[in-house]
């Protein structure tokens, strides 16, 4: 386990899109509220705005093109090489729209965290916000969870409810989900960091 001078674990953020969650995490980091250091950003889309956000904050970022590799295995092996170089302890998926394969799952057991814009196990998959809106439920939520080989199935770290108010627009509902995400994500990560540190201490005692 690698720690920086303040004893913080090092995190890599994976993103595919606009990166507003990455931005929120970087803000929390600046405020001293995130108990991990975001040391790099991995994007699977060349034009992911998350890359620009990383640049703006002086965080190393790289685009890995999944189509340039013969398989997910080679793609993830290449990413893993960089993560090792950067001494990354924890992977944070912030709108990374790709399944994690066995290479990264084996390299980071119980150390990959995802944010999902619904109250899992309700509304898994890529359209959690719209699926909740189009259901007959009057509440949805946000979940931070560990990643396993399933789709949005790993153990829940923290989750909170968000009301679905259909007297307002879908866009308003989307905004309320995102606002909840920005307030919850760093807390879920802090929890995962505590778990990881505990695991490491137990290993040292053995
Ligand atoms: C978030 O709603 C996240 O829960 C979902 O994808 C969205 C990413 O948004 N998996 P952003 O790129 O962080 O703005």
pTM, 2 dp: 0.95
Q: Can you point out the beta strands (E) in 135-205?
A: 139-146, 156-163
Q: Is the CB of 116 under 6 A from ligand 1?
A: yes
pLDDT of the residue at 1? 65
pLDDT of the residue at 6? 61
Cβ atoms 102, 77 nearer than 8 A: no
What is the tens place of the pLDDT at every residue in 32-68?
999 999 999 999 999 999 999 999 999 999 999 999 9
CA-wise closest residue to 120 among 81, 84, 161: 161
Ligand 1: centre distance to CA 93 (Å): 9
Average model confidence (pLDDT) across the chain: 95
Contacts of 19 (CB under 8 A, 6+ apart): 41, 48, 49, 50, 51, 53, 54, 94, 95
Ligand 1: centre distance to CA 43 (Å): 13
pLDDT of the residue at 7? 73
Per DSSP, the three-state class of 22 is helix
Q: Is the CB of 21 under 6 A from ligand 1?
A: yes
pLDDT of the residue at 201? 84
**Residue in the block written with tokens 């790099």:** 40
Task: Give the residue, by CA position, lying nearest to ligand 1 atom 7.
Answer: 95
- What is the total residue count of the chain? 206
Q: Please give the chain's pLDDT, 206 residues, in tens.
A: 666 546 789 999 999 999 999 999 999 999 999 999 999 999 999 999 999 999 999 999 999 999 999 999 999 999 999 999 999 999 999 999 999 999 999 999 999 999 999 999 999 999 999 999 999 999 999 999 999 999 899 999 999 999 999 999 999 999 999 999 999 999 999 999 999 999 888 887 87
Task: Give the residue, by CA position, lying nearest to ligand 1 atom 5.
Answer: 95
pLDDT of the residue at 83? 98
């Amino acid at each position: 386990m690698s720690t920086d001078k303040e004893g913080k674990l090092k995190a890599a953020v994976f993103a595919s899109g606009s990166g507003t969650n990455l931005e929120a995490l970087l803000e929390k980091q600046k405020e001293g509220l995130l108990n991990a250091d975001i040391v790099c950003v991995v994007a699977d889309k060349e034009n992911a705005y998350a890359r620009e956000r990383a640049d703006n904050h002086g965080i190393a970022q790289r685009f890995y093109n999944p189509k340039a590799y013969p398989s997910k295995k080679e793609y993830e092996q290449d990413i893993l090489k960089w993560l090792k170089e950067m001494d990354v302890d924890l992977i944070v998926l912030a709108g990374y729209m790709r399944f994690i394969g066995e290479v990264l799952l084996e390299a980071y057991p119980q150390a990959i965290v995802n944010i999902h814009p619904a109250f899992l196990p309700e509304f898994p998959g890529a359209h959690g916000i719209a699926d909740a809106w189009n259901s007959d439920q009057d509440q949805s939520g946000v979940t931070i969870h560990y990643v396993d080989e399933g789709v949005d199935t790993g153990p829940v770290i923290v989750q909170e409810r968000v009301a679905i108010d259909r007297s307002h627009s879908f866009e308003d509902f989307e905004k309320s989900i995102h606002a909840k995400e920005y307030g919850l994500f760093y807390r879920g990560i802090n929890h995962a960091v505590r778990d990881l540190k505990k695991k490491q201490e137990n290993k040292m005692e053995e």
